[in-house]
Structure 1
Amino acid sequence: MRNETRGTVELTLAMVLSGTLGIFVVESGASPFDVVFFRCLFGAVALGAYSLARGFFTGHGFTPRKLGLAVLGGVFIVFNWALLFEAYEATSISFATVVYHTQPFFLVLLGAVVLRERISAAKLGWLGVAFAGLVLVSGVRPGDTASLQGLGLALGAAVLYALSTIVTKRISGVRPHLVALVQVTVGIPLLLPFADFGAAGRLGAGWGWLAGLGIIHTGVMYVLMYAAYAKLPTARIAVLAFTYPAVAMLADWAVYGHHIGLVQALGVPLIVLASLRVTLAGAPRGRVVASAPRTGAHAPEAASPAATRSA
Structure 2
Amino acid sequence: MRNETRGTLELTLAMVLSGTLGIFVVESGASALNVVFFRCLFGAIALGAYSLVRGYFRAHGFTLRKVGLAALGGVFIVFNWVFLFEAYEATSISLATVVYHTQPFFLVVFGAVLFRERITAARFGWLALAFVGLVLVSGIRPGDTASLKGLGLALAAAVLYALSTIVTKRITGVRPHLIALVQVLVGLPLLLPLADLGAMGGLGAGWAWLVGLGLVHTGLMYVLMYAAYQKLPTAKIAVLAFTYPAVAMVADWAVYGHHIGLVQALGVPLIVFASLRVTLAGPARTPAAAPAPRTAAHEPEAASPAATRSA
Q: TM-score range by the shorter chain?
A: over 0.9
Q: For residues 111-190 of structure 1, what are the structure 2 equivalents within 5 Å?
A: 111-190=111-190
Residues 289, 241 of structure 1: alpha-carbon distance in 2 compared, 3 angstrom cutoff: farther
Residue matched to 1:38: 38
Residue matched to 1:293: 303
Structure 1 letter corresponding to 2:77: I
Structure 1 letter corresponding to 2:303: P
Equivalent pair of 1:73/1:168 in contact (CA under 8 Å): yes
| Cα deviation 1:213-261 (Å, max 9, x = unaligned) | 0000000000000000100011111110000000000000000000000
Unaligned runs of 5+ in 2: 285-296
Residue matched to 1:282: 282
Secondary structure at 1:40 match in 2: helix
2:102 matches 1:90: no
Equivalent pair of 2:87/2:151 in contact (CA under 8 Å): yes
Shift of 1:132: 0.5
Residue matched to 2:292: none
Q: For residues 19-34 of structure 1, what are the structure 2 equivalents within 5 Å?
A: 19-34=19-34
Residue matched to 2:293: none
- Measured in 2, the distance between the counterparts of 1:214 and 1:25 equals 11
- Measured in 2, the distance between the counterparts of 1:195 and 1:30 equals 10
Shift of 1:292: 2.3
- Measured in 2, the distance between the counterparts of 1:38 and 1:290 equals 30
Secondary structure at 2:193 match in 1: helix
- Measured in 1, the distance between the counterparts of 2:267 and 2:159 equals 20
Residue matched to 2:253: 253
Equivalent pair of 1:43/1:184 in contact (CA under 8 Å): yes
Residue matched to 2:62: 62
Residue matched to 1:297: none
Residue matched to 1:206: 206
Shift of 1:200: 1.0
Structure 2 letter corresponding to 1:166: I
Unaligned runs of 5+ in 1: 295-299
Aligned length: 299
For normalisation by structure 1, the TM-score amounts to: 0.94
Secondary structure at 1:56 match in 2: coil
| Cα deviation 1:37-86 (Å, max 9, x = unaligned) | 00000000000000000000000000111110000000000000000000
Task: Report % sequence identity.
Answer: 81
Runs of 4+ aligned residues of structure 1 deviating over 6 Å after TM superposition are: none
